[in-house]
């Protein structure tokens, strides 16, 4: 693999307006926001559907997380295709597959095991589509514009998750779970058509990607490419720096409902608490992305990781609903630390493996966010929910110390 040239490390501060002026990015940004809304709608509705059918909290939780874990296996086994296949076909095909996953759930009364298998199989391919999209963004936006493009995607994801949760509740109440899944399918279909009709056709060779005919099998190339990425110390460190803090916070997030129940908060407060993290993420990305220069963002990575974890320590004292909201808002704002890692990460990537690298980054992040709650759930059983959330925050702060140790090294 050849290494990409390091992007311009000047301190020019781009604006969101400049980024959105790029029509191809604007198309990917808009369709991604709609797709995240549809994903959130499908995930929550499918979880409700499974719980209604089985009455099992375990199966409901499995339905909620079934689309996360398979992504890592998909990235390891198929990730090289994100650099070998035409990106327009990949991205449009990804949205079409998401539509195809939701339609059987909406129209056919399948056994629960079969329903879970459909969602898991589609999740295997998710890193291909997301990796191809991220690779195009990295090619079309340069310097600080690329960082703000990532920031806009983060903001859109936070807002779309909130919209999907709200839309999911309303759709299930008005239409029922099966018809709500049909709404999710329709949104994904709209995204697929928009990309197919409006995104320029880009052949792999036109995007700096080696033709698939000149390479080996997809699985062999994918495993080899993933191995090369993870053996590189710089890329591995930067990936772990983006994975670990969010995984620890996800461990605390998975305990919010139990914390609210244990503190006997009024009905509905758990939903407010759950919404505080994405709201904090949106605020943090706006402030850090819009007001700070690139060099300042990169210097603030470690303090922002501390901000991500430190407020969770407050849950050890068993705060009430209002204070809990404030702590979670502060935690969410710390997620802006990731903006300071975007330029170094892109500079460290091989030019002919960017799609696979972005797919691996996203799938690893999703997988570890699923592992986090599984790790801290048993801790909550032994020590209490508030103490477990505080320990998750402490783990994030320790990660900040690890990041500081290698960022200071020559």
- Which pLDDT band, with edges at 50, 70 and 90, does 273 fall under? confident
pTM here?
Answer: 0.81
361 and 303 share a domain?
yes
Q: Which CATH number covers residue 176?
A: 1.20.1250.20
Least confident piece of the model among 1-10, 225-234, 270-279, 352-361: 1-10
Domain total of the chain: 2
| Higher per-residue confidence, 163 vs 6 | 163
**pLDDT at res. 2:** 42
Q: From the CB of residue 82, how many other CB atoms can be counted at a distance below 10 Å?
A: 31
- Which pLDDT band, with edges at 50, 70 and 90, does 211 fall under? very low
Contacting residues for 197 by C-beta, under 8 A, at least 6 apart: none
**The pLDDT of residue 196 is above 70:** yes
284 and 203 share a domain?
no
Q: What is the pLDDT of residues 136-145, one digit of tens each?
A: 998 899 888 9
Which of the residue ranges 250-254, 340-344, 381-385 has the most confident prediction, judged by mean pLDDT? 340-344
176 and 237 share a domain?
no
Whether 6 maps to a domain, the answer reads no
**pLDDT at res. 204:** 57
**pLDDT at res. 401:** 95
**The pLDDT of residue 166 is above 80:** no
240 and 152 share a domain?
no
Helix (H) or strand (E) holding 360: helix 354-383
Are the C-beta atoms of 345 and 137 separated by less than 8 Å? no
**pLDDT at res. 205:** 41
- How is residue 17 written in tokens? 């307006």
Are the C-beta atoms of 79 and 127 separated by less than 8 Å? yes
Residue 157 belongs to domain spanning: 16-207+215-223
Residues 167, 184: Cα–Cα separation, whole Å = 10
- Which pLDDT band, with edges at 50, 70 and 90, does 327 fall under? very high
- Computed on alpha carbons and rounded to an integer, the radius of gyration of the chain in Å comes to 21
219 and 252 share a domain?
no
| Higher per-residue confidence, 91 vs 171 | 91
- How is residue 224 written in tokens? 């080899």
Q: Which of 223, 247, 262 is the last residue of a domain?
A: 223
Query: Strand, coil or helix: what is 78?
Result: helix
Whether 7 maps to a domain, the answer reads no
Residues 133, 154: Cα–Cα separation, whole Å = 14
- Which pLDDT band, with edges at 50, 70 and 90, does 60 fall under? low
246 and 195 share a domain?
no
Whether 310 maps to a domain, the answer reads yes
Whether 60 maps to a domain, the answer reads yes
100 and 142 share a domain?
yes
Averaged pLDDT, 151-173: 78
Least confident piece of the model among 141-145, 306-310, 313-317: 141-145
- Which pLDDT band, with edges at 50, 70 and 90, does 6 fall under? very low
Which residues, in sequence order, are bridge partners of residue 311? none
219 and 249 share a domain?
no
Tallying the residues shown for the chain, one arrives at 410
Contacting residues for 271 by C-beta, under 8 A, at least 6 apart: 165
**pLDDT at res. 56:** 67
Averaged pLDDT, 358-376: 85
201 and 266 share a domain?
no
35 and 166 share a domain?
yes
| Summary mean pLDDT of the chain | 85
């Amino acid at each position: 693999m050849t290494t990409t040239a390091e992007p311009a490390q000047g301190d020019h501060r781009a604006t969101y307006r400049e980024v959105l002026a790029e029509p191809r990015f604007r198309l990917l940004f808009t369709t991604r926001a709609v797709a995240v809304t549809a994903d959130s709608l499908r995930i929550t509705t499918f979880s409700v559907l499974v719980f209604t059918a089985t009455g099992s909290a375990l199966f409901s939780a499995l339905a909620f997380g079934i689309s996360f874990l398979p992504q890592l296996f998909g990235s390891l086994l198929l990730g090289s295709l994100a650099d070998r296949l035409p990106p327009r076909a990949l991205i449009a095909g990804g949205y079409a597959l998401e539509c195809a996953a939701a339609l059987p759930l909406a129209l056919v009364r399948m056994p629960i095991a079969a329903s879970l298998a459909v969602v898991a199989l589609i999740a295997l391919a998710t890193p291909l589509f997301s990796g191809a999209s991220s690779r195009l963004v990295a090619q079309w936006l340069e310097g600080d514009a690329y960082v703000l493009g990532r920031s806009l995607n983060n903001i859109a994801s936070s807002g779309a998750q909130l919209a999907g949760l709200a839309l999911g509740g309303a759709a299930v109440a008005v239409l029922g779970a099966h018809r709500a899944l049909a709404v999710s399918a329709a949104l994904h279909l709209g995204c697929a058509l928009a990309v197919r009709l409006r995104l320029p056709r880009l052949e792999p060779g036109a995007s700096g990607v080696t033709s698939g005919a000149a390479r080996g099998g997809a699985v062999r190339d994918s495993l080899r490419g993933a191995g090369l990425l993870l053996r590189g110390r710089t890329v591995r460190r930067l990936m772990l720096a983006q994975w670990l803090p969010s995984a620890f916070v996800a461990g605390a997030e998975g305990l919010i409902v139990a914390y609210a129940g244990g503190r006997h908060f009024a009905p509905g407060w758990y939903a407010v608490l759950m919404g505080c993290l994405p709201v904090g993420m949106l605020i943090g990305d706006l402030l850090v992305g819009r007001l700070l220069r690139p060099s300042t963002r990169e210097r603030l990575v470690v303090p922002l990781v501390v901000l991500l974890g430190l407020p969770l320590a407050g849950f050890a004292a068993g705060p009430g609903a209002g204070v809990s909201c404030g702590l979670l808002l502060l935690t969410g704002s710390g997620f802006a630390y990731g903006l300071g890692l975007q330029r170094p990460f892109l500079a460290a990537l091989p030019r002919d493996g960017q799609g696979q690298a972005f797919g691996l980054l996203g799938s690893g992040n999703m997988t570890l966010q699923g592992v986090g709650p599984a790790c801290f759930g048993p801790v909550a059983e032994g020590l209490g929910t508030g103490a477990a959330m505080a320990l998750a925050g402490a783990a994030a702060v320790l990660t900040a110390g690890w990041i500081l140790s290698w960022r200071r090294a020559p």
